[in-house]
Amino acid sequence: MHPIREMTLLRRSTKVGKTYQNPVPTKVGGFSTMWKVLPELLFNREEAQPKTPLGPFTTDGSVYATAPQSGLRITWFGHSSSLLEMDGVRVLVDPVWEQRASPFPFMGPKRFYAPTLALEAMPRLDVVLISHDHYDHLGAKTVARLAKLQPQAKWVTALGVGERLRAFGVAAAQITELDWTESVQQGGLKVTAWPSRHFSGRGLGDRFTTLWGSYVLETGQHRVYYGADSGPWDGYAEIGAQYNGFDVVMLEIGASSPYWPDIHLGPDAAVAAYEALGGLTGSGVLMPIHWGLFNLALHAWRQPMERTIELAAERGLKVWSPRPGEPTEVVRGDGLWSSWWR
């Protein structure tokens, strides 16, 4: 475990009855919010999903036969799903290969483009990281297939989510559940769970019954912060204070709305979080995630990235945004802007 310096907000999770609590007071929204959003959803004039098909995007799986020269390579599959190759360790983060981020195969947010790589073509994995149990981060059929295809992989997740993974076919011996501030070592990789400001649940009656979180992945040479889902809060500065910078800071920019400001960042708050994590003083890059694959809010589908680029230009920030499905090396301090969405 990391030594905690001047920690006030960063602590183990707490529960009231069966429900986990956020690190700071948080409004998630319920039926009252749904009734407010529904009229805007029905008459939304924004291009919330692409008018013309995107892609096709494909991943050249042969690239994985050669280790990255920099030691750090990331393949972003869209939304929050990524493959991180870190100094000889492969970590698949929040894989969702389903057609819809929904409990129903016939309705709900549909993918803007097909998966760029078949799960059968995925290279040998060391770790699968599941940040929390929402449908756009944990695909049940994806998990079931990976459990059969990659039986050697270790699964790291938040408290309570292991039960869901076991139900989907992952062997119990392969699962490690982490509370906030806890760590696990897998080979040359250390994964530490930190708090985030969000919620959990896969139905109307199980909100907050499993934990959610953000994660730091580190080897001897590289360090990545994966913010998963979170709203704005002061904990970012405290997390950043535990480390001497990050090579990549992965933060969500999509699915935000004034109707639920506590649980998603959006571009402006993501940039603020990046700065709080040390993005201005360090040489790490900001990697926008949680956008460009599913329609989960009212904003135009391009808006999160367009606004992020605008803010980066104003503040001199280094944004790292690869083309979907393209294995791309991270060279410390170098930004990347593929412009694929245009």
229 CB contacts (<8 Å, ≥6 apart)?
80, 131, 132, 134, 137, 196, 198, 212, 252, 263, 264, 290
pLDDT per position in the chain (342 positions), as tens?
454 455 689 999 999 999 999 999 999 976 566 656 566 656 667 888 999 999 999 999 999 999 999 999 999 999 999 999 999 999 999 999 999 999 999 999 999 999 999 999 999 999 999 999 999 999 999 999 999 999 999 999 999 999 999 999 999 999 999 999 999 999 999 999 999 999 999 998 999 999 999 999 999 999 999 999 999 999 999 999 999 999 999 999 999 999 889 999 999 999 999 999 998 677 699 999 999 999 999 899 999 999 999 999 999 999 999 999 999 999 987 888 899 998
Predicted confidence at residue 159, as pLDDT, reads 98
Integer CA distances (angstroms), 322 to 79, 109, 137, 274, 342, in order: 12, 23, 20, 18, 13
- By C-alpha distance, which of 97, 153, 161, 100 is closest to 128? 153
For the chain, what is the HEC assignment? CCCCCCCCCCCCCCEECCEECCCCCCCCCCHHHHHHHHHHHHCCCCCCCCCCCCCCCCCCHHHHHCCCCCCEEEEEEECCEEEEEECCEEEEECCCCCCECCCCCCCCCECCCCCCCCHHHCCCCCEEEECCCCCCCCCHHHHHHHHHHCCCCEEEEECCHHHHHHHCCCCHHHEEEECCCCEEEECCEEEEEECCCCCCCCCCCCCCCCCCCEEEEECCCCEEEECCCCCCCCHHHHHHHCCCCCCEEEEECCCCCCCCCCCCCHHHHHHHHHHHCCCCCCCCEEEEECCCCCCCCCCCCCHHHHHHHHHHHHHCCCEEECCCCCCEECCCCCCEECCCCC
Give pLDDT, residue 3.
47
Which pLDDT score is estimated for 211?
Answer: 98
Query: Residue 27: CB partners within 8 Å, gap ≥ 6?
Result: 260, 262
**Cβ pair 186, 153 in contact under 8 A:** no
**What is the model's pLDDT at position 29?**
73
**Can you tell me the distance from the alpha carbon of 147 to that of 159, in angstroms, rounded to the nearest whole number?**
19
Q: Are the C-beta atoms of 249 and 227 separated by less than 8 Å?
A: yes
- Break the chain into its structural domains and give their ranges: 56-337
Instruction: Specify the pTM.
Output: 0.95
Q: Quick count: other Cβ atoms within 10 Å of Cβ 29? A: 16
- pLDDT reported for residue 33: 61
- In the numeric block, which tokens belong to residue 214? 């953000």
Closest CA to 228 of 239, 220, 219: 239
Give 56-337's CATH code, choosing from 2.60.120.380, 1.10.3720.10, 3.40.50.620, 3.60.15.10.
Answer: 3.60.15.10
